[in-house]
Amino acid sequence: MTRICLHRAAIAGLAALAIAAAVATPGFAQGDALLGAWTFVSERSKFTPGPVPYKDLTLKFSATERGLRNDAEGVDADGRPISATYVIVPDGKYHPVTGVPEFDSSSYTRVGDKNTVYVRQKHGTTVVVGSRALTGGGKTLIFRQKSVDNLGIETGRALLVFNKQEPG
């Protein structure tokens, strides 16, 4: 199976999961619900192979003319600071990402009100495919993703859980 076929198969599989979740949990628009700050919950997150790569991570989403701005700030497992900013445009096209060594562009496709499928690339090669879903009445944000090598072979899986910070 070629890399392109594997890439398409992975996206189709993630889209099917996201559609099933969207149909099962109707609700508000994801863009509005994502606004605000989200705190990483390491004890509910899983990484294979491990360990958890973050000591602390906060995502902050704000509205822009093009989409959602995502500011990620935190500390990795080795104590190095994490700082990344990019705009999430749910148009299925690749847009640049800065501040993340593992990838330099991402594409996002919204699937229902609470779900988005994404693909991340490094130098034009897919390195991550995943989905993002709002659960728990909009209070929990869950990322499910898999890392792949340049042949499209899975090299790892991650479940990242974030809780919405209350204003104040």
List pLDDT tens digits, range 31-52: 588 999 999 999 999 999 988 9
Residues for the chain: how many in total?
168
How many domains does the structure of the chain reveal?
1
Residues 104-116 pLDDT 10s:
999 999 998 899 9
Q: Which pLDDT band holds residue 22 (cuts at 50, 70, 90)?
A: very low
What is the average pLDDT value for the chain, to the nearest integer?
A: 83
User: Which CATH number characterizes residue 53's domain?
Assistant: 2.40.128.20
Residue 144 has pLDDT above 90, yes or no: yes
Does residue 66 carry a pLDDT above 70?
yes
The residue written with tokens 């700082």 in the block is: 83
Domain that holds residue 36: 3-164
Tell me how far CA of residue 56 lies from CA of 4, 31, 35, 75, in angstroms.
35, 24, 20, 5
* Per-residue model confidence (pLDDT) at position 98: 86
